[in-house]
Amino acid sequence: MEKIKFNTKYLEGFVVDEDFRSILPEIEKAHSHLENKDGAGKDFLGWLDLPEETPEGLLSDIQSTADKMNSTSDVIIVIGIGGSYLGARAAIETLSPEFFEQKIFFAGHYLSGDHMCQLLESVKDRDVSVNVISKSGTTTEPAVAFRIVEEFMKKKYTPGQMKERVICTTDKEKGALKSLADTKGYKTFVIPDDVGGRFSVLTPVGLLPVACAGINIRDLVDGAREQVKCVADPDLDKNISYKYAAVRNIFYRKGKKIEILSGFDHKFGYIAEWWKQLFGESEGKEGHGIYPTACRFTTDLHSMGQLIQEGERNIFETFLVTEKESENCLIPTSDEDIDGLNYLAGKQIDFVNKKAYEATAEAHFEGGVPNTTIFIPDRTAYYLGALFYFFEKAVAVSAYVNGVNPFNQPGVEAYKKKMFRLLGRPGY
């Protein structure tokens, strides 16, 4: 099988060999923390070996549950926020066919009465199952959504039917959602104690919704398993996750504080959303952190392209590109050629897109924006699993090099405490 590649052609003049030599001891120290499980956040390293240690029995259980949900339901509502939904949505948006009849609906990722009312209105005459995902069961957004959706379903189904239609992905032993599931007889899947939310896409958190969408979860896990082997050596010439982490920190120390993940495949939009949480929440603390943002090209070349090309030079860019081109949409010849496009006649749209990428990478480089490219052989579950693991390993090392704990998120609680006080929650 081909592998993900990391191209550094457009670092010339911005990063020199001495930069890599200087940061290598820090990369090796971070690698040691992961290998020996003795760094900050060491209790949350379950994701490291997760692809290799996921039992076949669990995958079979997830798949059979998804098959049963699909056989009895027109619609499956997935309730979660942050790491409890972004990975699954990234996989589903990336790998599902375009313009297909939507079966998976997401809820609980923001607070909108209009969204919830319109969702329930749209499914009122359809058979519904729900997968609610929450470690504690008390996170406000998904808890509110689940309370409303559960009440809606109670009016459609008997308690016995509800047991077949509500699946809870939560803590193994404790928490409000686990207690509710045990009381009402809802089936549960476990969120491992040693895997944080933003690293949980390859646990039942991500795998059950992905399986419900008809995506091969074994391929997803197999791709991650193979990537584990590819990012095991601390040598920067062999380990693309570590080289990517090194590049990021070299730029950060040179004053480039913003990273743009620019995808040239329009299906990568939610991969970028997942990536933003992974890097933002892992690195943004103690006054540190590269600001992760994203563009969807070529669309955003007509909105953000000007700023990237000629704005303040405090940014660097990472392109995400699929190597395999689609071969099902040729540009036709026109007798009139009014638009002047006959020079492209007979070529694939993806060919034009690839040339747009090449031109953009070169233009941004010449405009003072150094950039690298992550090449993915094909847009498949296998390579998406590999990409998930590539980024997870990279962010862990990058955060350690930046001097912060990659696996906590103390700042997330700040707004919650103020919100609970304003809402009148007891104790606040």
Burial class (CB in 10 A: 0-12, 13-18, 19+), 102: exposed
| DSSP track, 240-305 | HHHHHHHHHHHHHHTT--EEEEEESSGGGHHHHHHHHHHHHHHH--TT--PEEEEEETTGGGGTTH
Rounded to whole angstroms, how far apart are CA atoms 189 and 353? 41
DSSP designation for 84: G
Contact 58, 66 (CB under 8 A): no
Contact 142, 81 (CB under 8 A): yes
DSSP-derived 3-state class of residue 40: coil
Angstrom CA distances, 411 to 31, 287, 347, stand at: 26, 11, 50
Q: What does DSSP say about strands 371-376 and 5-10: parallel, antiparallel, or unpaired?
A: antiparallel
Residue 68, φ and ψ in degrees, nearest 5: -65, -45
Instruction: Print burial letters for 340-361: b (CB count within 10 Å at least 16), e (below 16).
Output: eeeebeeebebbebbeebeebb
Rounded to whole angstroms, how far apart are CA atoms 51 and 381? 14
**Tokens, residue 400:** 């350690």
Please report which helix (H) or strand (E) contains residue 130, including its range. strand 128-133
DSSP-derived 3-state class of residue 365: helix
Active-site hit among 259, 281, 283, 392: 281
Q: How many residues in total does the chain contain? A: 428
Contact 123, 115 (CB under 8 A): no
Contact 236, 242 (CB under 8 A): yes
Is residue 416 annotated as part of the catalytic site, yes or no? yes
Is residue 302 annotated as part of the catalytic site, yes or no? yes
Contact 319, 361 (CB under 8 A): yes
Active-site hit among 302, 312, 336, 413: 302
Active-site hit among 266, 416, 417, 418: 416
Residues marked as catalytic: 281, 302, 416
